[in-house]
Amino acid sequence: MAQELFLKNYMEDCVWELLDKVLEQDPAACRCPACRYDMVALALNNLPPRYVVREKGEVYSKASMLEIQHRADIYTALTKALAIVKQNPRHES
């Protein structure tokens, strides 16, 4: 019996994984769910997708997260997104 396949943008996991590290650099940045999601959305819109096809329940490799340039690109996109969201938060103060 064939396993169910699914499509996953691995870049999304990578961005979420590094978000807190970027937020540590700016203690004044808002960490509410709305701002966090806005930062991730903005960063993902400025990064190339990394789609993987896997069988349901299968763990995919995190090897690309170890690449220095890959991590640097994510940090850069998140840092820019943080600055934009910080200047234009969509939540009420």
Give 73-84 pLDDT, tens digit per residue.
999 999 999 999
What is the pLDDT tens value at each position of the chain, 93 positions in all?
567 888 888 899 999 999 999 999 999 999 999 999 999 999 999 999 988 887 665 565 565 555 888 899 999 999 999 999 999 998 776
Domain count, the chain: 1
How do beta strands 51-55 and 5-9 pair?
antiparallel
46 is in which domain, residue-wise?
5-87
Residue found by looking up tokens 């850069």 in the block: 76
pLDDT of residue 64: 59
Token representation of residue 59 = 């763990």
Residue 12 forms part of a structural domain: yes
Tell whether 93 is covered by a domain: no
d(CA 33, CA 10): 21
